[in-house]
Amino acid sequence: MLLTISGSSCSGKTTAARACAGLPGLVVHDFDEIGVPSDADREWRQRSMEHWVRRALGYQESGLDVLLTGQSPLGEVLACPSAVDLDGIAACLLDVADDERLRRLDRRDPGKWPPDRTRSFIGWAAWHRGHAADPRHVPEAITTGGWPAMRWQRWSGWAGDDPRWIVTVVDTTGRTVRQTTADLRGWVAGARAGRLSLPGGWAVEVDTSTAQHPPS
């Protein structure tokens, strides 16, 4: 299984990874471990996501699950060419209030980001929230100018109430590291138990009029 934790900068993804490291049968990686080129763009991110999916397939053969932190939302994961070969996919959006995100950015990188760049962080966070709730939320933010090999048609016709669209949102605003850690470990356990994840065979059409969402 591939479990992904995404979110805009300073949502707490690194802390999330540390919280889950050491869980039995789980390998933790950060997307940027492969190196980020100076000209990294949307197409690079999507090609790199396919790289990580293939690495997850290698771990899968050894009976291991992969937890990956990064920027790629569920729509990019599902559209990766090799995603249909995974035994399961789970997506978590790690979020935080905008004012707290800006404070964290200033603490982490004092004076580094000009106002237009900080606005882009806030805008990307807002888009992530919309995407987590409904795949129809401004899909062109990831589909336009992306990697040509991506299979957007796999989910482009899905509605927000499609039972396959499962994104768990964990808001770290006002919560301690201990509380967030408990939230994330609970999500990992639920995903691995099949309650909060998309099982293999998800690309097969389902009757959404009778299907029900997994319990949250």
Q: Which CATH superfamily is domain 2-199 in?
A: P-loop containing nucleotide triphosphate hydrolases (3.40.50.300)
Average pLDDT, the chain: 90
Predicted model pTM: 0.89
| Tens digit of each residue's pLDDT (9 = 90 or more) over 36-47 | 898 899 999 999
For the segment 66-122, what is each residue's pLDDT rounded down to a tens digit?
Answer: 999 999 999 999 999 999 999 999 999 999 999 888 888 878 777 776 777 778 889
- Domain segments of the chain: what residues? 2-199
Q: How confident is the model at residue 216 (pLDDT cuts 50, 70, 90)?
A: very low
Report, as an integer, the average pLDDT of 169-198: 94
Among candidate residues 82, 6, 71, the one with its CA nearest the CA of residue 40: 71
Q: Which helix (H) or strand (E) holds 18?
A: helix 13-20
Tell me: pLDDT of 124 over 50.
yes
For residue 215, is pLDDT > 90? no
